[in-house]
């Protein structure tokens, strides 16, 4: 059974940091790309970052470049999203998603987690 389980969300003040985790199981983690998406109330889901375990490439949305960093621990089948200098506009439910091979631009990922809430207070 494929599972993606996010954790690490919570409430933080603006300027603070959080680290999200996405623990994966049930598929060949080393050959998959893991992306983070977020969705704020009343807004469309948007891609935040992606890391490909196949070639190590990473991508970030312009809105988070320089503040967010994605990394992968293949021994633990876990991807992390380190979020620094958080802003109120980063408030959203954050989801991780997996697709075989390289990162995709768009939401056509094979597997999705259940999401974790991140709230940034001003």
- Alpha-carbon distance 36 to 113, whole Å? 10
Q: What is the rounded average pLDDT for all residues in the chain?
A: 96
pLDDT score, position 106: 84
What are 72's strand-pairing partners? 79
Please report, in angstroms and rounded to a whole number, the separation of the first and last CA atoms in the chain.
Answer: 40
The 10s digit of each residue's pLDDT in 55-81 is 999 999 999 999 999 999 999 999 999
Asked if 49 and 83 count as a contact pair (C-beta separation under 8 A), the reply is: no
The 10s digit of each residue's pLDDT in 86-122 is 999 999 999 999 999 999 988 899 999 999 999 999 9
- Alpha-carbon distance 72 to 34, whole Å? 9
């Amino acid at each position: 059974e494929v599972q993606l389980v996010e954790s690490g969300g919570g409430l933080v003040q603006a300027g603070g940091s959080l680290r999200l985790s996405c623990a994966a199981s049930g598929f060949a983690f080393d050959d998959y790309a893991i992306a983070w998406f977020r969705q704020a109330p009343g807004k469309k889901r948007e891609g935040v970052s992606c890391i490909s375990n196949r070639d190590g490439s990473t991508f970030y949305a312009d809105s988070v470049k320089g503040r967010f960093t994605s990394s992968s621990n293949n021994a633990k089948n876990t991807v992390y999203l380190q979020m620094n200098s958080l802003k109120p506009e980063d408030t959203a439910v954050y989801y991780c998603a997996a697709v075989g091979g390289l990162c995709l631009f768009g939401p056509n990922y094979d597997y999705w987690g259940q999401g974790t809430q991140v709230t940034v207070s001003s």
